[in-house]
Amino acid sequence: MGKIGTHKLKSKIDFIIRVAGEGGEGVMSCGELFAKAVARTSYHVFTFITYPTEMKGGYAMTQIRIKDITIYSMGSFVDCLVAFNQEAYDKSIPYLKEGGILIYDPEFAKIDESKKVIKYPIPFSKIAVDTIGRPLGKNVVVLGILSHIYGLEHPGLEKLIDDRYGSKGEKVVEGNIKALKAGADAAAKIGVITVMDLSKSEPAAEDYMFISGNQAVALGAIAAGCRFSAGYPLTPATSIFETLSKYLPLVGGRTIQMEDEIAAISAIIGASFGGEKVITPTSGPGIQLMAEQLSLASMLELPIVVVDVQRGGPSTGLPTKTEQGDVKFAVYGAAGESPRIILAPTNVEDTFYQTIRAFNLAEKYQMPVILLTDQSIGYRKATVKMPDFAKIFMVDKYDRKAKVKIPNAEHIDLVQRQIPTEEELKDYKRYRDTKTGISPIARPGTPDGQYLATGLEHDEYGKTNQGPENHLKMSKKRFRKLEEVSKAFEKNPMETYGDPNVRIGIMGWGSTEGAIREARYLAELQGIKIRHLHPHTISPLPERQISKFLHRLKHLIIVEENLTGQFSHFIKAKFGVNPIEVHKCEGMPFTSDEIYNAIMKVARIADEDNITSS
Amino acid sequence: MKTISQAVKTYKSKTIKPVWCPGCGDYGVLAALDKTFKALEFKPEDIAIVSGIGCSGRFSHYFNSYSLHGTHGRALPTATGLKTVRPDLHVVTIGGDGDGLSIGGGHIAHAARKNVDLTYIILDNNVYGMTKGQSSPTTPLEYKTKTAPYGVYEEALNPIAMFLAYNIGYIARTTSTDSKGLLSILTEAIQHKGFSMVYVMSPCVTYSVLPYAKLKDIVAPLPEDHDTSDKMSAFKYAYSDEHMYTGVFYKEEKSCLNERLQEVFNIAKISKTTSEIMAEFK
């Protein structure tokens, strides 16, 4: 194993590679093929993608991180940069570590010769033209160069090329295989270093999937028993609906593309009324349109799951970039007060299990559950441990007291909707005002279960009643369910990490978890210990857990990818604290370095406080 | 097993009585729909009524069925989702000229494209009745309403011509007073495979844009020689200045959404387990 200049490797493997170019040049497919090949080894892989909104042109890059242990973020600086053109070079070079490897096409990029990096000019565009007669194969030439640097065997890569391009015909596959070899040969010829030999790595010991966050939502939905989805294409959520459209029919499910997001959520409400587990995926601009129907689902007490893969806003904003800007809308975007549950997954694997959890919560508490992911989770790919399919348990539909565990790879409970007993059907009250607020739902087709589900205020039978007492009683009934959710959340294990006795705490939500975790590790290396709380349930919040976390803290940092600190507002309002807010509103996720720097600043303030008080 | 002799009241809500104004055309349609269900011998638990907002929205309250009274304009996509997962249910959707043609008007074209197997009844009273007398998409030009006190400044829609252009496979128009015509059209429409549109002129007695007497004057049954498979002939009668024709304008048998989705299963061929699907992502 070689060294990369002054950047010495520690005992563990941690490589970050960035392939940067122009949209339409095959940057994504090059990165994906490379990552897929690595995913088949015992190493963990994590990819991050950013691409322009336009179909062709504009800066696009894919970043791949390879590690021997779980990966939490895309990393801050890269070990190896491949630049397809000038813009890609200019935008990416600040992120290349000193001593890192720079591979560029001298025909399309002029570089700063004074940079202390290992430079390999390789004319990959020309190589592609010479080999297969077209410049478009250059991404596969680059794949060949990377295979040389990281010791990836060609038979495996050729198989992946065949899988990907097979549908385009034998000629295309052959051309790409030639380009792959030409790239590797060119690298060998000019003596490009080999930094590791992945071909010597053991194959993955356990079963792993290599999936994006969006695929994790689709697969999680299928695993949860969802059999209907209605959708409308919206970047960056579209691939969820595409994946569902491909795979749901294979398990007997159905998907229909609707004319807009309002129609999509309406269709899933209708299907949920019909007794099916349902989902619609969208992003910010879509969830805005869905607001009225979210309230309807709260009022009809029908289980629905809505996924918001957040992107930069407001309005059309930054369709292909990430932001945590929809949390307030998700919680409060409604006319009137309508109970709903908001979950925020933290990474790709977590997205799979939180999606299953979203269905469990929706079916149990009969209300909309909004799953708040974002572009950075949705488009990133990571290795995800395959769940144990022998450990999936159905919760009985008549069991009103079932304890439902948070799903994980070792244990998955699947909630089935409560239905009325024969006794209850004798005088069926669909909206019976029970202790928990939860009242069984009759499935259409059940004799004597007929009822009216109306968006008008109604009594326990469903008959409209707008009297003052009834409105109060039924509002309380609907919100009692949310109190039950809250109670259940408090019983979950604390979502805190780090030393419980320290005075500096950090909070975040959603996709920032990995970067915060890595920043905490970095700080610990410097002797700075902090506590980290990262609730998965944004609404209702686990209030007692948060109080407990805040109790001993002197300094609280809240990290968010937006401008105004929306989540922070909740914490400030509910707990009367005055946090140090760290915001990033650039369309890009936090790196661990950025959070680490914030932690160190606060640590210095804390240190000064200690000096003045002593 | 329930028997053929199920009384019409089997289909009526046991507790909720209609609250429309006395003389409202909607009563006639309600009675006809009860009779239709009886004639078709449907079990009440197999019927699903989906409605939106407005006087027509209350329709879903008055049946002993599984009923969903949703939001303004969204009855059609809601019913589409329901029918997609529950092909076994008889789904009837009801809207008015505001709910169906204004706020929800955009959904009709797409329900038609999907040819979802349900019946959509639009009750046209040429006015927003429940909100007390504002212009609707079918209020005539220059007619004075509360939101157009100097006269309506928009042209009225021609819904039948629109439905023909959308390629809806069953299109009929009738009036709320023609109980015989309603029964036969509703029976045929509900049995029609695919999306069927029953357009009913149902006068408002409180905001009387189109009084019964005037309706009686302009209505005429489609000529007997009208060929219901001839779309051009149907267009001709839809655009008639002379009469408001009633009867079946157009009929066409084609595959419906559930059949097409079944075809998706056939093309996908292999049925898989969840674990087999996930193995594809290794």
Residue of B269 and A374 predicted with greater confidence:
A374
Other C-beta atoms lying within 10 Å of the C-beta of residue A5: 16
Question: Which residue intervals of chain A bear CATH 3.40.50.970?
Answer: 209-389
The verdict on residue B279 lying in a domain is no
Report which of B271, B268, B210, B273 is spatially closest to residue B244, judged by C-alpha positions. B210
d(CA A321, CA A379): 10
In the predicted model, what is the mean pLDDT of residues B72-100? Answer: 98
d(CA B49, CA B34): 12
Q: Give the least confident one: A156-160, A503-507, B38-42, B84-88.
A: A156-160
Q: What is the pLDDT of residue B1?
A: 46
Question: Which of 3.20.20.10, 3.40.605.10, 3.40.50.920, 1.10.760.10 would CATH assign to domain A496-613?
Answer: 3.40.50.920
| Structural domain that includes position B192 | 8-253
Q: What is the pLDDT of residue A606?
A: 86
Tell me chain B's radius of gyration from C-alpha atoms. 20
Length of chain A as a residue count: 614
Chain A residue with Cα closest to B1: A447
Give A139 to chain B, closest Cα distance, Å.
23
| Beta carbons within 8 Å of A493's beta carbon, 6+ residues apart | none
Model confidence at A613, in pLDDT bands (50, 70, 90)?
A: low
Q: What is the pLDDT of residue A373?
A: 98
Across the interface, whether the CB atoms of B15 and A223 are under 8 A apart is answered no
**Burial classification of residue A584, based on how many CB atoms lie within 10 Å of its CB (0-12 exposed, 13-18 middle, 19 or more buried):** buried
d(CA A302, CA A453): 9
In the predicted model, what is the mean pLDDT of residues B24-47? Answer: 96
The verdict on residue B230 lying in a domain is yes
Edge-to-edge strands, sheet with A304-310: A254-257, A228-231, A278-282, A304-310, A368-374, A341-343, A537-539
Contact call for residues A384 and A208 (beta carbons, < 8 A) = yes
Instruction: Report the mean per-residue pLDDT for chain A.
Output: 92
Residue A614 has pLDDT above 60, yes or no: no
Across the interface, whether the CB atoms of A250 and B65 are under 8 A apart is answered no
Q: Which of A49-58, A230-239, A396-405 has the highest mean pLDDT?
A: A230-239
In this structure, the strands spanning B90-96 and B47-51 are parallel
Q: What is the pLDDT of residue B223?
A: 98
Report angle CA B77, A243, A165 to the nearest 5 degrees: 135
- B66, B271, B274 ranked by CB distance to A222: nearest: B274
Chain B residue with Cα closest to A38: B282
Residue A8 has pLDDT above 70, yes or no: no
CATH number of the domain that B22 lies in? 3.40.50.970
Contact call for residues B151 and B142 (beta carbons, < 8 A) = yes
Interface residue A394 vs chain B (CB under 8 A):
no
Interface residue A264 vs chain B (CB under 8 A):
yes
Q: CA-CA-CA-CA torsion for A52, A378, A522, A586, nearest 10 degrees?
A: 40
Q: How large a percentage of chain B has pLDDT more than 90?
A: 88
Amino acid type, A295: S
Q: What is the pLDDT of residue B267?
A: 80
- Chain B residues with CB under 8 Å of A272 CB are 81
Q: What is the pLDDT of residue A612?
A: 64
Residue A348 has pLDDT above 80, yes or no: yes
Interface residue A45 vs chain B (CB under 8 A):
no
Q: What is the pLDDT of residue A134?
A: 87
Residue B272 has pLDDT above 90, yes or no: no
d(CA A197, CA A203): 13
Model confidence at A493, in pLDDT bands (50, 70, 90)?
A: confident
- Give the pair of three-digit tokens for residue A97: 């570590």
Q: What is the pLDDT of residue B4?
A: 44
Instruction: Report the mean per-residue pLDDT for chain B.
Output: 94
- Chain A residues with CB under 8 Å of B110 CB are 258-259, 263
Amino acid type, A285: P
- A215, A254, A447 ranked by CB distance to B261: nearest: A254
State the fold for domain A209-389. Rossmann fold (3.40.50)
d(CA B43, CA A511): 50
Give Cα A144 distance to the centre of its chain.
30
d(CA A43, CA A22): 29
Q: Which residue has the tokens 């969820």?
A: A240
In the predicted model, what is the mean pLDDT of residues A472-478? Answer: 98
Other C-beta atoms lying within 10 Å of the C-beta of residue A595: 27
- Chain B residues with CB under 8 Å of A254 CB are 84-85, 261, 264
d(CA A468, CA B36): 38
Q: How large a percentage of chain B has pLDDT more than 70?
A: 97
Q: What is the pLDDT of residue B214?
A: 95
In the predicted model, what is the mean pLDDT of residues A354-374? Answer: 98
Prior bond of A135 cis (ω within 30°):
no
The verdict on residue B259 lying in a domain is no
In the predicted model, what is the mean pLDDT of residues B121-125? Answer: 97
d(CA B136, CA B145): 9
Residue B102 has pLDDT above 60, yes or no: yes
- A208, A444, A447 ranked by CB distance to B48: nearest: A444
Across the interface, whether the CB atoms of A453 and B68 are under 8 A apart is answered yes
Residue B2 has pLDDT above 80, yes or no: no
Contact call for residues B138 and B157 (beta carbons, < 8 A) = yes
Contact call for residues B64 and B82 (beta carbons, < 8 A) = no
Residue A1 has pLDDT above 60, yes or no: no
Across the interface, whether the CB atoms of B281 and A209 are under 8 A apart is answered yes
Model confidence at A9, in pLDDT bands (50, 70, 90)?
A: very low
Interface residue A228 vs chain B (CB under 8 A):
yes
Give A89-135 pLDDT, tens digit per residue.
999 999 999 999 999 999 999 999 999 999 999 999 999 999 998 88
Q: Give the least confident one: B7-21, B120-134, B207-221.
A: B7-21
Q: What is the pLDDT of residue A23?
A: 83
Chain A residue with Cα closest to B83: A271
Q: How high is the ipTM of this complex?
A: 0.97
Number of domains in chain B: 1
In the predicted model, what is the mean pLDDT of residues A35-50? Answer: 88
Question: Which residue intervals of chain A bear CATH 3.40.50.920?
Answer: 496-613
Interface residue A456 vs chain B (CB under 8 A):
yes
Chain A interface disruption, residue of B85, B92, B195, B263, most A CBs within 10 A: B85
The verdict on residue B51 lying in a domain is yes
Give Cα A478 distance to the centre of its chain.
30
d(CA B216, CA A576): 70
Q: For domain A14-200, is the CATH number 3.40.50.12780?
A: no
In the predicted model, what is the mean pLDDT of residues B225-240? Answer: 98
